[in-house]
Structure 1
Amino acid sequence: MFHANSLLLPFFNDEHRALHDSLHRWCRQHFTSRIHNGSVDLYCQKLVRQLGDAGWLRYTVPAAYGGQLPEIDSRSLCLLRQTLGYYDGLADFAFVMQGLGSGPITLFGSDELKAKYLPKVATGDYIAAFALSEPDAGSDAAAMKTKATRTADGYLLNGVKTWISNAGIADFYTVFARTENDEAEGVTAFVVDANTPGLEITERFDLAAPHPIGTLTFTNCYIPASQRLAQPGQGFKVAMQNLDVFRASVGAAALGFAETALDMAINHASTRQMFGGVLSDLQITQAAIGDMSTEIDAATLLVYRAAWERDVLKQRTTRSAAMAKLYATESAQRIIDRSLQMFGGLGVRVGQPIEMLYREVRALRIYEGATEVQQVIIARETMKNKTGEAK
């Protein structure tokens, strides 16, 4: 669990500390296991309803549209993801997709679009999704092929989006397409209702850690111009600013995963009989726990520095958020692996919480920009800053 002293860092105020405490109490009542059986779709729909009824989804939209705070607060998002991730990976997923899918509307939507979608996102009545990736355009979003052809009063969407979380259960999708026959070239963003004619879910597939995901196919899918976000050709700006808000929170989710893995390791090592004592008596075990604890503290500082810079300094966090995501997700993978190693054969048995964590953490190093992409972002931003200083 989040080390108590961490909450005393200057990144946080009393509201953040109260949020952390109340959310932990709620999670302890509602989540007793990371292991789920049955339909993942039904479970995620249930989670969205639970999170909405409890008021936690209100942190994903501004107060003017049913939110908890005047504007989206990155530190609160991170605390929510870290805490939910500690207890249940799918709860973290269900929460963040409400924010990631509706974030472009918050940032760039018209008043009409905000009023139409955001209040229902905050209550859990609408499930949101974010549709950027394509079969040949993942980290390289510039390779996007989905097209939006201008008509007299709207657009016709044609193309394929894949790796879309909440595909099949979402009520709306924020979709990015290359604009044709418009006043501006480039990529444009749209809000597409799930029941729009011409939009089909053409594939669903399983992942190592199951969650709702699949492929969307658009065939002459008509979208009114009123469903467009920002101006034509500004889709990359919409996508990147939205990812800037949520990228640090991926690191926060990884922190939650890492913390629960460390707690599992300590609890197991303290009781596992070995060589006339217990596993935690061994210096090699203590060294592993020392390394894991240090990595968690380092990741905490990087994650909440990025969130604080956005909330308090009101500045772009491209570099610091990339650092937070890279370090927190990579260190979480190492921590969970070392924890699983302490469990021995039990650690790889399906149905064990540490085995589920091992599968859950792997995707965090890929989505919202893989580790290698974060390295490139950090390098470019660092070189750009140094070049500017030299002038």
Structure 2
Amino acid sequence: MSDTAVFALDPAQRRWCGELRALAAERLRPLAERSEPGRVNRPLVEALGELGLLARLLPADGSVHALTLCLLRESLARECTEAETALALQGLGAHPLVLAGTAAQRARWLPAVRAGRAVAAFALSEPEAGSDAAALSLRAEAVRVAGGADGGESGDAAARAGDGPRSGRGAPDEAGTAGWAAGGAAATPTAAEAAATPTVGEAAAPAGTRAVRPAAARGRGGWRLTGEKCWISNAPDADFYTVFARTGEGARSRGVTAFLVPADRPGLTGERVEMLSPHPIGTLTFDGVPVGADDVLGAPGEGFRLAMRTLNLLRPSVGAFAVGMAQAALDAALDHAAHRTAFGGPLKDLQSVAHRLAEMATRTEAARLLVYAAAAGYDAGAPDVALRSAMAKLLATETAQYVVDAAVQIHGARALRRGHPLEHLYREVRAPRIYEGATEVQRTLIAKELYR
């Protein structure tokens, strides 16, 4: 592991964090309080766009700064966890598009995502591929073009036929697609397989347009996605999904391709799942969903690498989310211990309570500094970013669980009442120890990286 620089925020960064907390308390929390549990809160997402926070998360020049993202998430989490989560999920779903999208894909979706008019989602996990993400089994089956190898419309036209604004949903700013000719193609089916495979291309292209048939797609009609995704944040309400599917270029991680799939594609359905925390999470079912070369993010077979690049950026900021929750719980505990009297004086004068507060504060600050160091390392291009990111997420999420639980203990029964801020945090704090790499996975990653 490389040396970690001593880190401290400068005055401008501290002022910005204070401004973010004020925005979260005054502008975003009222919107969050009016949300329906388990549904995407579109007014809240739109407010994040109007305030320019989504543009900070997904800048137009593509230069996402991990430290900026961490400060943003920590500050929002201290005042409004729903706003923090809505912002983070936009980043998770859209960052693969920033990293690997074509100019046409970016022009079509990113302006709407930054404005809060379109909702993005990241679809990696499956019923049998959670922590072992490389074991995913969603199939992307190559299909032939209607009319033979050189005749008829391409699979891209069929895939695009249903694309467009959905009722009550965010609309792309700009329609249109571009040819894709990077990095190879999916395996060509045998004659027997082709005869048994449904064709793509029967649907006409939108009026006034002509389907683009890139060289890499000639002789085939794209793919059909078949299988299931689960634990997908923003499903089934998102406007598009970054979907990782097995196209067969190699075993495990080498055979995964990323696709940008609009939510109104035929064959794509979803259901909501009720969770401990009231965030939008659901399952997605793919029943022969058509995708074409214009929907590929990056190159076939490179999807798993794209997923890991996205998670390496987001992991430290998951730690920042956890630090924000820990700080909110610590603030509540400090205030309560100063004003609650018992045994003839304030709780803070009891040694057992004072020592616990000291431990809570020390762990929170240690987690914060590790998160900042990991983010700074990412921004500096440090070679050990995977190690730093795993350490930051591990320590911060475990610390937040401890601090929130300790704050509940200091408050007593009142913190368990529905609607109490700590009751809310207690439900929120559990999930980050699982998603985007469970605690056990982070320890495994750290151990492997130590021997590189």
TM-score, structure 2 as length reference? 0.78
Amino acid at match of 2:225: L
Q: Write the mapping of 1:150-189 to structure 2, written as runs, cut at 5 A.
A: 150-151=142-143, 152-180=220-248, 186-189=255-258
State the shift of 1:117 in Å: 1.3
Matches within 5 A, 1:1-391: 10=7, 12=9, 16-31=13-28, 36=33, 39-40=36-37, 44-64=41-61, 71-151=63-143, 152-180=220-248, 186-201=255-270, 203-313=271-381, 315=383, 317-384=385-452
Give the drift of 1:87.
1.1
- The Cα of 1:139 is off from its aligned counterpart by 0.5
- In the TM superposition, what whole-angstrom CA distance separates every residue of 1:132-161 from its partner, at most 9, and x where no partner exists? 000010010122110111231321100100
In structure 2, what residue type is equivalent to 1:324?
Answer: A
- 1:313-336 deviation digits (Å, cap 9, x = unpaired): 454510001000000000110000
Letter in 2 for 1:60: L
> Deviation digits for residues 308-367 of structure 1, max 9, x if unmatched?
011124545100010000000001100000000011111212211101101100001000
Letter in 2 for 1:191: L
Do the aligned partners of 1:35 and 1:356 also contact (CA within 8 Å) in 2? no
Give, in angstroms, the shift of residue 22 of structure 1. Answer: 2.2
Q: Give the gaps of 5 or more residues in structure 2.
A: 1-5, 144-219
Give how far 1:42 is off: 5.5
RMSD (CA atoms): 2.0
1:3 maps to none
Amino acid of the residue matched to residue 362 of structure 1? Answer: R
TM-score by length of 1: 0.90
Report the Cα offset of residue 16 of structure 1.
Answer: 3.2
Aligned partners of 1:181, 1:300: CA distance in 2, in Å? Answer: 41
Whether the aligned pair in 2 keeps the contact of 1:185 and 1:232 (CA below 8 Å) is: no
Q: Which moved more, 1:133-142 or 1:172-181?
A: 172-181
Structure 1 165/42 Cα, relative in aligned 2: closer, same or farther at 3 Å?
closer
SS in 2 for 1:211: coil
Corresponding position of 1:388: none
Q: Deviations over 1:228-277 (max 9, x none)?
A: 01111011101000000100000000000000000100111111120111
Cα 1:37–1:124 change in 2 (3 A) is closer
In the aligned structure 2, how far is the partner of 1:54 from the partner of 1:45?
Answer: 14
Deviation at 1:120, TM superposition (A): 1.2
Give the structure with higher Rg (CA): 2
Counterpart of 2:299 in 1: which secondary structure? Answer: coil
Q: Work out whether residues 32 and 41 of structure 2, in 8 Å CA contact, stay in contact via their aligned partners in 1.
A: no
Task: State the AA in 1 paired with 2:365.
Answer: D
Contact 1:322/1:374 (8 A) holds in 2: yes
Aligned length in residues: 369
What SS does the aligned partner of 1:167 have?
coil
The alpha carbon displacement at 1:198 in A equals 0.9
- Structure 1 unaligned runs (5+)? 1-8, 65-69, 385-391
SS of residue paired to 1:40: coil
